[in-house]
Amino acid sequence: MRVLIADDDKYVRRLVRSLLENEGMECHEAEDGFEALSAARELHPDLIILDVMMPGFDGYKICRMLKFDENLSDISIIMVTSRDQPTDKETGYYTGADLYITKPFDHEELLDIVKHLVGARITET
């Protein structure tokens, strides 16, 4: 499973990367919106863990652009962000996010969610 972790906070990227690599997943990182979009197009990951507030394109815009691209619309997207208002979550789902998790997040919960998505993707193929 190939995962792109897009967050402008390097500590969050490192934490999530460590969690997922310990489970045998291949991880790539992006620190801003432009890099995230470019990496998504180049790598075509199975899953993107996407922050909303990043320099360049924000996570909502990235999510929308990916979901409108027929070659990339199948990528699962989990938004992990500190934006926790109901309207923020609605926007996340409206733009195409599969799940929306707020920071700070429970590490085990995130890992369980990712494993669930991995299982769902394996079942589909």
Which domains, and CATH codes, for the chain?
Answer: 2-118 (3.40.50.2300)
Is the peptide bond prior to 55 cis by the omega test (within 30 degrees of 0)? no
Q: What residues have CB less than 8 Å from 99, skipping those under 6 apart?
A: 77, 78, 79, 113, 117
* Torsion angle (degrees, nearest 10) of CA 49, 52, 54, 58: 110
pTM of the model: 0.91
Rg (CA), the chain: 13
pLDDT single digits (tens) 60-102:
999 999 999 999 999 999 999 898 899 999 999 999 999 999 9
Residue with tokens 């990951």: 45
